[in-house]
Amino acid sequence: MKPNMQGMLKQIQKMQEDMQKVQEELRNKTVTEESGGGMVKATVNGKKELISLQIDNEVISTDDKEMLEDLIVAAVNKALESASKMAEEEISNITKGMIPPGFNIPGL
């Protein structure tokens, strides 16, 4: 039995179109994570771009620059991780098992 190449090509083309659409939508979806009990909040979009960073005035007024830097790094890293998970979920809805989990798709 020969595989239906034309049908397969159409399926791949549709998946590519859906992937393009999801990539555009991910730019508008955001996640916010925090560190230091909410003293630092980082918001990242689904394209892993830092959108905003909020720092509580209490932390700014301290002389502990290193602590503030650590809180910022922690919040941004958490937000980036959440954005990655969000993107993976969106992509897995399209690929439905065609691409293995954890496979790195350029641009995401």
pLDDT at residue 54, rounded to an integer:
96
Mean pLDDT within 57-70: 88
pLDDT at residue 99, rounded to an integer:
56
The C-alpha angle 72, 74, 79, rounded to 5 degrees, equals 95
Residue with tokens 């979806």: 29
pLDDT at residue 85, rounded to an integer:
93
Judged against a pLDDT cut of 60, whether residue 108 lies above it is answered with no
Do the Cβ atoms of 31 and 79 come closer than 8 Å? yes
Domains of the chain: 27-95 (3.30.1310.10)
- Residue-wise pLDDT for 45-62, tens only, equals 999 999 999 999 988 887
Judged against a pLDDT cut of 60, whether residue 34 lies above it is answered with yes
Judged against a pLDDT cut of 60, whether residue 43 lies above it is answered with yes
Do the Cβ atoms of 50 and 44 come closer than 8 Å? yes
Judged against a pLDDT cut of 70, whether residue 2 lies above it is answered with no
- Please tell me whether residue 106 adopts helix, strand or coil conformation: coil
7-11, 43-47, 75-79, 96-100: range with lowest mean pLDDT? 96-100
